[in-house]
Structure 1
Amino acid sequence: MLKINNLTKKFGDKVAVNNLSLHIAPGEIYGFIGHNGAGKTTTLKSIAGILDYDSGEILIDGKSTKSEPLACKAVTAYIPDNPDIYDFMTGIQYLNFIADVFKVSESERASRISEYAKMFEIEGSLNDSIGTYSHGMKQKLVIISALIHSPKLIMMDEPFVGLDPKATHQLKQIMRNICDNGGAIFFSTHVLEVAEKLCDKVAVIKGGNLVASGTVDEVKGNSSLEDAFLEMEE
């Protein structure tokens, strides 16, 4: 579903991501772990097409993000670490705007918006201005907007930050259901206990370099994922 081959991204003289290669297959929840500044967000934004990259190749569903960007965007969604969205819109206006972008039919969008708004308990706030939303409510709205076109691949940057425990549980279930139905998820997180329980595979990045990748058991060995990560960071 997602193939990253020898990805390198620089900001001036600083190498943010160095020769990174990863393969996320359909059905996999793939965790991306590293300290702040390790290169996680840069990688995710490069996949999403927000950032250009200096060398390497990113393929989504067999298509290049550089030569076929619209085809790649049509089957993906990106949930950023900070939900910066249009405060002047109402929640429902924003969701319909995203649905229009992805050409989701009226019946499909109505069904999905209703389902996910109830699940995340914001159906009563959809007619309110986004400017009145808390950070957690904005995060829920962004998550719903990412799901509205049933993407094959979802990139998430710290998706659980700002969510209440019930919403966190719901999102974990949604992630598992998407992958059980052939989708794939690549997400960054600092919550290593969540990664250990939820992910099929994980990758650890340090200073822009991949230091470990594989199944959770392969990466953590006989210790916890947290202990293994801390050892790699020494």
Structure 2
Amino acid sequence: MACTLEFSYIQNSDPLILEKLKNCEDLSDSQITAIQSLLLSGNTTYGKQKLPINKLSAFFTECNSESTTVSKITAATIADTSFPYGFNSMLFDLYLDIDVLQDNLAAITEKVVDTSLQNVILNKLNQIYPSGLNDDVLQLLGSTSRVASIDAISKWNITIIDTLSSLLDSNDGSWEPEKSKAIIMRYLNIDIHSLGSAEINIIGSYICTLDINVLENITAENLIMVLPQI
């Protein structure tokens, strides 16, 4: 579809459009002129370039050959041991389709540890679930959950204790106090939930982030059940 874009559209597009256009086999003179304009802006990953029209195709071909490991992300790409090597946040955002993310979320979050790429994952998930991520998604986030903002966490739908346990798993890294508090409160804001012995064991030291009025709701019975383990 990008290969049919007109001069004015290309010229006024985000420079990322070049990543689509460089795969086109036959560009018109007006399209090439628009591409030249974008290259001259200096705001592309190729730097500021001034190339004759007859060399532009060769330039794109060379760029393609230098980035053969960076292309549309598929299940096979994700399964490769080198994934996500070669992707910066811009390319990761460009080449990771939402449906691929949904179908391979666990595999992606297991391998992606760069925070800039993790932010891309969360941004895309927030587009899919504008009302907040649900239990099934939250349980697959792993360390990616740690880069979520307080605003995003405030929309998470933490309806079961398994999700709370998954999010607070220390193997995925520590939480900032305010974020851990927000997670726990999202769980407790559901009427049927309380700080029982199971919840206290899961929360661990993060219990210290909670307000006193929340802690006052812990029953003596539940506290006695967990005290020997503290």
> Structure 2-normalised TM-score?
0.28
- Bigger radius of gyration, 1 or 2? 2
Higher strand share: 1
Structure of higher RCO (CA pairs closer than 8 Å, 6+ residues apart)? 1
Higher helix share: 2
